[in-house]
Copies of this chain bind each other. A is one copy, B any other.
Amino acid sequence: MDGHLALLDQTRLPAEVVQLVCRDVQSVWQAIRRLCVRGAPAIGIAAAYGVCLGVQTARDADLAAFQTRVDKICDYLATSRQTAVNLFWALDRMRAVAHQAAGCSAREWAARLLAEAQAIHQEDRQMCAEIGRHGADLLAELPAGAGILTHCNAGALATGGDGTALSILFELARRGRRPHVWVDETRPLLQGARLTTWELLQRGIEITLICDSMAAHVMRQGNVQAVVTGADRIAANGDVANKIGTYGVATLAKAHGIAFYVAAPTSTLDIALATGDQIPIEQRAAEEITHGFGRATAPAEVAVYNPAFDVTPAELIAGIVTEKGVVQPVTPATIAAWAARPPA
C-alpha cells in the first residue's frame, strides 16, 4: 500500500497554490500544527486520514497490538491542536472502529479505518450542504444585496465540503440574493484576507476586505445586516469557541442591533463541557504577531499575548446553524435537543 494525504498548503495561499503531500503521521501532525490544514472540520478529516497513514505499513501480529497502535496514533495526533473539538471527535471515531474490529481478518483492519475516514469526509461534505441550505433559509428575509460580515475562514478550505459560514453565503448567492460580504482580515494569520477572499472571489461573490478594527465602523455606517462565523467548539450551554476576534465581533454586533449567527456541524458540539469557560484556549507563538509577515514589526523584547481563540457567550448568539436545522434561541435546552436530534 502506498497511500498518502494530499493537502492544499493553506499557509502559502493566496500567493501560491502548493500541494503538501503527507506520507506519515508525523507530517499530518505538522500540517495541522503549522495550519497548513486548518478549520475545525478539516482538521478532523485530516487527522482521520492521518490514522490511516499511521497503520498502512503496520504488520501487527494480533488485533490487540493493532488497537494499541491506533490508540497511540490517536493520542499523538490529538496533541497537534487543543481547541477545536472536531479533532478529538474524529479520532474517537477512528479509535472506536479499531476497537470494533474483532472477527475481521488482519488485512481488513486498515481497510475499515480508511472507510471510516472516508465516511467522516463524506458526511462533512453533506453537512456543509445542509448548513448552507438551513442558513440561507434563515437569512432569506434579508434584502437582496445585504451586507454580511464574516471573521476568519469557515469555507471549503476549513471543511470537507463548501464550508459552514461560507456555505450559507454560497447558497445565498446561488439563490440570487447577491450578498455583499465584509471580510475581516483576521489577525494574526490573516485567514480572512488570504483564504476567505480567495474562496469568495472564485465564486464571484462581491466582497470588501477590512481590518478587524474596522468592523465596528462598518457596522455603525449601517453596512452590515448580519454576521456569520464558524465554530471550533460549542459547550453544552451554547457558548462558542472560535477564532480570536469572534467574541469582539459578536459584542459589536449586539451593540449595533445586528444578528450574530454561528454555523457548525454536530461534530463541533462538546456536550461534556457545561460552559465555554472550560474550553481550553490554544496559545500560539509571539512571532505570529511580531514577525507575521517575514520581518520584525515590533521590538524584539516585547511581551505578547496570542490566544488563537476566544469564547462567545450564548447570549450574544442569535442562532447556531447546523446540518439538522437552526438552534434558536441558543440555550442549554435547545443545545441538548440538537445533540439528541437524528439527522434531518
Contacts and interface: CB of A to CB of B under 8 A. Distances in A.
A259 interface: no
Contact of A297 (B193, B215, B298, B307): B193
A289 B208 CA distance: 12
Nearest to A199: B299
A256 to B, nearest CB: 8
A294 B294 contact: yes
B297 A216 contact: no
A91 B215 CA distance: 34
Interface stretch (A38-46, A229-237, A243-251, A265-273): A243-251
A3 interface: no
B248 A197 contact: no
Task: Classify the interface of chain A: helix, strand, loop or mixed.
Answer: mixed
A212 B212 contact: yes
Contacts of A184: 213
A216 B248 contact: yes
B296 A294 contact: no
A148 to B, nearest CB: 15
Contacts of A209: 289-290, 298, 302-305
Size band of the interface chain A makes with B? 35 or more
Contact of A208 (B290, B294, B305): B305
Nearest to A180: B303
Contacts of A212: 187, 211-213
Interface centre among A184, A214, A304 (most CB of B within 10 A): A214
B299 A198 contact: yes
Contacts of A297: 185, 190, 193-194, 293
A185 B187 contact: yes
A210 interface: yes
A14 interface: yes
Contacts of A293: 292-295, 297
Given A206-B303, A208-B305, A217-B244, 8 more contacts: A15-B295, A190-B297, A193-B297, A201-B301, A207-B302, A214-B244, A220-B310, A293-B295
12 contacts: A15-B295, A185-B298, A194-B297, A201-B302, A209-B303, A212-B212, A214-B245, A214-B306, A217-B244, A218-B305, A220-B310, A251-B252
Interface of A: 14-15, 184-188, 190, 193-194, 197-198, 201, 206-218, 220, 244-245, 247-248, 251-252, 254-255, 289-290, 292-299, 301-307, 310
A-B interface, 5 closest residue pairs, ranked by CB to CB distance from nearest: A213-B245, A293-B293, A216-B248, A187-B211, A217-B310
